[in-house]
Amino acid sequence: MSSNATAKAYTFKVVLLGEGCVGKTSLVIRYVEDKFNDKHVSTLQASFLSKKLNLNGTRANLAIWDTAGQERFHALGPIYYREANGAVLVYDITDEDSFTRVKNWVKELRTMLGNSVCLCIAGNKIDLERGRVVPIEEAEKYAKSVGAKHYSTSAKLNRGIQDVFLELTQRMIESAKEKEERGERPGSLLGQGGRNSVQVLSSDEEAAAIAEKSGCCG
Amino acid sequence: MEPESGKKSRGIKVQSDLFCKSGCGFYGNSNWQGYCSKCWKDRLQQPSKSENVSRSPKSSPFARHRQSSPSGSFWAVFSRFEEKRSQQHEKRTRTMKSLFKKSHQSPSRDFSSVPFLEEMLDGVTGSSASSENTPSSDAFTEYLKTLSKPIAIDVLRHINSVTQKMQKMCEAGASPEELSDTAKEFYQSLNDRLRNHPTFGEATSEQLESMMDFTEKNVMTRLYKSVFFALSAQNEDKDLEIQKRIRSLNWISAAHLDCFIDELRPDIMALIDKAIFSAIEMDARRAPQDKLSCIVKCSKNIFEILRVSRERFGNVEAASADEFLPALIFIVLRANPPRLHSNINYIDKFCNPGRLLSGEAGYYFTNLCCAVEFIEKMNHESLNLTKDEFDRFMSGEALPPGVVFGANLDSLEAPWLCEGVRIMRGNLVTLNELASRDTKLEIGLDDLITDGATFVDGVEKMVDDVMAGTPLTSQPHKRPIALDDAAEATENLPPPLTPQILK
Ligand SMILES: Nc1nc2c(ncn2[C@@H]2O[C@H](COP(=O)(O)OP(=O)(O)O)[C@@H](O)[C@H]2O)c(=O)[nH]1
Ligand SMILES: [Mg+2]
């Protein structure tokens, strides 16, 4: 992966957020393994999955983090999405509450991570269109108002899922490139941590100098 | 022994030898150097006692945890110990520097000899590493030998410089945050250098990765004592607090967390024990990535527990975060890993940030942080209990009914039994299984015997039937009839009919 030899690959952390039972796990298994409620899912676990993408020559590694959706774990959100590059917010179109929950998450994410996080909202289970209670216009309007893209998906029928992750990756790459131009480090804790001084020792003198400096300021 | 007095009778004299040396009137004991137990203890508590000082430095940071509040004398002893240690460090640092100078002043810059590398390494590993971490140093030396010399020298130079620097910071009492910044800056700059500097131009990305790994491991293993000490001092209160908290939550069963783990099944018990072991092992590892890999091991075991548990209910879906997090919380509650906050903090502060950001290990680590946060904050609502119930369980006033998922709701089934009883239960389960197999075998055997008898009877009956249906009658032998022999019968015929016999 040395920058002088091969083109660099970005690594992005993507968190899946959504109430329990909206289909987060189904969605990601469909995306990574193209399976639904299948006995032959080859992964031992479906909580951390990764996917390699190549978007017009730019390589990206998605690390997709499933989160526990139970009510009792809601307060843990910030620990999960710390340093996330992107988030997929999932709701069930037949469940009004799950959409409200998504709105709360968006607020939280924007407060905690600002605009550095790319958001996609997925209205899942469109195969159950008859039971829809969240009007699509409302959902799309909302998504637009918070700078997120809205997708209608069905893990069961494999609809719209590729698009969610493609769009998200594209935006994350753009965001990372912008950051690079601004001289920040994408995908590094240092980049956001503020302290960003980089030391490369090129001679013994420098090494000694640094060792000495620390001696007096520490 | 003889001198003292002739006044006393022999018996009394022997007894007087047995009295406590301090003359308090109680009996002494040779184990306590002739003092009675009380006087011996009093003497031990006098801080001036030299044995006491020499013993303290050996005590690990654990010793501090055993004391609920550090006593004054302890700190006095401790600061003396620190002083001594820093003096030793200085001495070693000096020798290390001289080693450095020597090696770089050598005009030819001859890297060809491996012993040179080892010498350079020894110089530094000696500075903070005790004999405990020689294995890692050895592995590191072996690793360096696989690199080309210019690369090995370059990497080693960086390692030495940052180790020295951080060691000095520790001695100067730098905060863990400052140390962490230094470490992370170092990882970042080394990473940049590995990827951009011409010296490493030909290395593959895997080689660079492993170089980063080895570097991180070596630096942090060498600095472990100083760095972890600073951290655990800072986190001592929180460490103790969570330990107490987990202890008071010992009544929680998997069912409270809606976690489908059958704690009483022997095979699952064994897996639970494995996961617990890994969780506890974390405290014993030094390098951040080694601690991390304990968390990974623990998590993999949890997924195995979940798989085996769910299989029985015909659920073969891969476990997701919804199942994993409660199970991890359950394991942390059962394990009560030592110095949990210090360890988490250490990994967070001194691990190569890239590892935590998006890798699988980072995911499990984040879940562990979530589990700890949950354990600290949880209340009756998190467990779907009433406030009253929760408070009573917490105070130990009452125990929840022994609800164990999948087990009989027999009120005596308690999952929080002690280890011995747990093992006994496991054995009972195995014995029961064996007994039922034995019964099955016996029934099978009986069946087989009956089957055998029926078979013999059946065959005999069939034979009899066949015999009865086809009675045995012997028929006279049929003899071949020779045409000419029949001639006799024709001999008595009247002449015109007498056949002419041709010979
Ligand atoms: N009809 C329908 N059911 C779905 C869809 N996606 C998920 N489900 C079902 O919804 C339930 C919950 O799914 P799961 O992936 O476990 O949700 P999670 O709790 O958000 O991870 C499961 O029974 C799935 O089979 C979908 O697109 N259509
Ligand atoms: Mg799920």
Chain B interface disruption, residue of A76, A82, A85, most B CBs within 10 A:
A76
**Ligand 2 centroid, distance to B283 Cα (angstroms):** 31
- Chain B, nearest residue to A192 by Cα: B353
Answer whether B208 sits within 8 Å of A2, measured CB to CB: yes
Answer whether A215 sits within 8 Å of B319, measured CB to CB: no
Answer whether B205 sits within 8 Å of A215, measured CB to CB: no
Mean pLDDT of B158-174: 90
Using a CB-CB cut-off of 8 Å, the residues of chain B touching A29 are 318
Using a CB-CB cut-off of 8 Å, the residues of chain A touching B325 are 68, 73, 76
Per-residue pLDDT tens over the stretch B443-461: 999 999 999 999 999 999 9
Fold category of B114-230 in CATH? Serum Albumin; Chain A, Domain 1 (1.10.246)
Q: Report yes or no: A39 at the B interface, CB cutoff 8 Å.
A: yes
Instruction: Evaluate whether B395 touches B251 at the Cβ level (below 8 Å).
Output: no
Tell me the C-alpha distance between A162 and A55, whole Å: 13
Answer whether B196 sits within 8 Å of A80, measured CB to CB: no
Looking at the predicted structure, is the pLDDT value of residue A126 above 90? Answer: yes
Write down the domain spans for chain A.
7-191
Mean pLDDT of B68-97: 44
Write down the domain spans for chain B.
15-44, 73-101, 114-230, 254-406, 418-452
Per-residue pLDDT tens over the stretch B108-160: 333 333 444 544 554 444 444 444 444 556 777 788 777 778 888 888 888 99
If we measure between CA atoms, which residue out of A175, A29, A24 comes closest to residue A89? A24
Q: Shortest CB distance from A215 goes to which of B168, B200, B300? A: B168
Which of helix, strand or coil describes residue B22? Answer: coil
B44: phi > 0 → left, psi -120 to 50 → alpha, else beta; which? alpha
Per-residue pLDDT tens over the stretch B275-284: 999 999 999 9
Tell me the C-alpha distance between B320 and B134, whole Å: 40
- DSSP element (H, E) containing A149: strand A149-152
Query: What architecture (CATH level 2) is domain B15-44?
Result: Up-down Bundle (1.20)
Take atom 2 of ligand 1 and give the residue whose Cα is closest.
A125
- Check residue B413 and give its pLDDT: 46
Q: Shortest CB distance from A46 goes to which of B161, B181, B320? A: B320
Three-state SS for A74-121 is HHHHHHHHCCCCEEEEEEECCCHHHHHHHHHHHHHHHHHHHHHCEEEE
Banded pLDDT at B198 (limits 50, 70, 90): confident
Using a CB-CB cut-off of 8 Å, the residues of chain B touching A12 are 358
- Best-predicted range by mean pLDDT among A33-42, B23-32, B115-124, B367-376? B367-376
Residues in chain A, total: 218
Which of helix, strand or coil describes residue B117? Answer: helix
Give the ligand 1 atom nearest the CA of A29. 15
Answer whether B357 sits within 8 Å of A188, measured CB to CB: yes
To test the pocket of ligand 1, the residue of A16, A21, A64, A88 to mutate (highest count of ligand atoms within 8 Å of its CB) is A21
Instruction: Evaluate whether B453 touches B460 at the Cβ level (below 8 Å).
Output: no
Beta-carbon pairs below 8 A across chains A and B: 166
- Check residue B402 and give its pLDDT: 56
Higher-confidence residue of B153 and A100: namely: A100
At A58, give phi and psi (nearest 5°). Answer: -90, 125
Helix axes A24-33, A161-181, angle to 10 degrees: 80
Using a CB-CB cut-off of 8 Å, the residues of chain A touching B373 are 75-76, 79
Cα dist from B419 to A206, B212, B273, B423, B502, whole Å? 57, 42, 10, 6, 115
At B268, give phi and psi (nearest 5°). Answer: -75, -35
If we measure between CA atoms, which residue out of A23, A171, A30 comes closest to residue A87? A171
- Lowest average pLDDT, out of A159-173, A186-200, B431-445, goes to A186-200
Ligand nearest to the CA of A26: 1
Cα dist from A81 to A49, A74, A109, B169, B178, whole Å? 15, 12, 8, 33, 25
The number of helices, as runs of H, and strands, as runs of E, in chain A is 7, 6
Take atom 23 of ligand 1 and give the residue whose Cα is closest.
A21
Answer whether B169 sits within 8 Å of A218, measured CB to CB: yes
Strand A86-92 to strand A48-55: parallel, antiparallel, or no bridges (unpaired)?
A: unpaired
Tell me which residue has tokens 């100078």: B101
Give the ligand 1 atom nearest the CA of A22. 20
Adjacency order of strands within the sheet including A9-17: A48-55, A58-66, A9-17, A86-92, A118-124, A149-152
Instruction: Evaluate whether B85 touches B61 at the Cβ level (below 8 Å).
Output: no
Instruction: Evaluate whether B26 touches B36 at the Cβ level (below 8 Å).
Output: yes
- Check residue B454 and give its pLDDT: 94
Burial of A178 (0-12, 13-18, 19+ CB in 10 A): exposed
Instruction: Evaluate whether B188 touches A188 at the Cβ level (below 8 Å).
Output: yes
Query: Which letter, b or e, does each residue of B266-305 get, where b requires 16 or more Cβ atoms within 10 Å of its Cβ?
Result: bebbebbbbbbebbebbbebbbbbbbbbbbbbbbbbbbbb
Mean pLDDT of B90-111: 40
Q: Report yes or no: A101 at the B interface, CB cutoff 8 Å.
A: no
Mean pLDDT of B372-395: 89
CATH of A7-191, one of 3.40.50.300, 2.40.110.10, 3.40.1710.10, 3.30.465.10: 3.40.50.300
Per-residue pLDDT tens over the stretch A54-70: 998 899 999 999 999 88
Query: What architecture (CATH level 2) is domain B254-406?
Result: Up-down Bundle (1.20)
Q: Which residues line ligand 1 (CB under 6 A)?
A: A 18, 20-26, 37, 69, 124-125, 127-128, 154-156; B 320, 322
Looking at the predicted structure, is the pLDDT value of residue B318 above 50? Answer: yes
Answer whether B317 sits within 8 Å of A45, measured CB to CB: no
Higher-confidence residue of B141 and A80: namely: A80
One-character DSSP codes across B47-68: TT-HHHHHHGGGS-THHHHHSS
- Check residue B288 and give its pLDDT: 93
Mean pLDDT of A130-138: 94
Tell me the C-alpha distance between A15 and A83, whole Å: 10
Cα B275–chain centre separation: 6
Q: Shortest CB distance from A3 goes to which of B161, B196, B322? A: B196
Banded pLDDT at B90 (limits 50, 70, 90): very low
